[in-house]
Amino acid sequence: MKYVVWIGVAVALCMAAWRIVQPEVTNFIFHDEVQETAAEFSARAGFSSFQTDEGFRSIVIRKAAKHEIALDPKQVTVRTSGPPEHRIVYIAVNYTVPIDFLIFSYKRHFRFAVEVHQHPAYSPLVGDDGTALRHG
């Protein structure tokens, strides 16, 4: 009987730990996806009509929904600046996730920002001579 109680306590602690760790892991993965998308957006901006700031905001919200994170457009800030060959993309995401336990719940706040600077020397859309490669 004593072992059953200890096993029950251990299982309850593991479940509680997972409820705390799981949103952290999800945020880490979501942050990485936003970083990759921003880098892609920065590399393509100016060379094609890849996305507007609003379009990119929609992409971030869809990526969040894939991870069961509900985002309002006001929770995602997207700014692009600079000429096409030196594009800077800035994305900030600010959201709260409820963490529920059997007897209580609390809200965990997440906030991150990503800033990607495109430099022509590192851009896949720049030729060997440093000139921009244009489509079509």
Q: Provide the residue ranges of all domains of the chain, joining segments of one domain with +.
A: 22-122
Each residue of 50-66: pLDDT tens digit?
A: 467 888 899 999 999 99
Which structure tokens are listed for 98?
Answer: 């409820």
Q: With cut-offs at 50, 70 and 90, classify the pLDDT of residue 48.
A: very low
Could you tell me the CA-to-CA distances from 17 to 12, 24, 26, 100 in Å, in that order? 9, 11, 14, 12
pLDDT in tens, 85-134: 777 889 999 999 998 877 888 899 999 999 988 765 554 554 444 454 44
pLDDT score recorded for residue 136 = 40
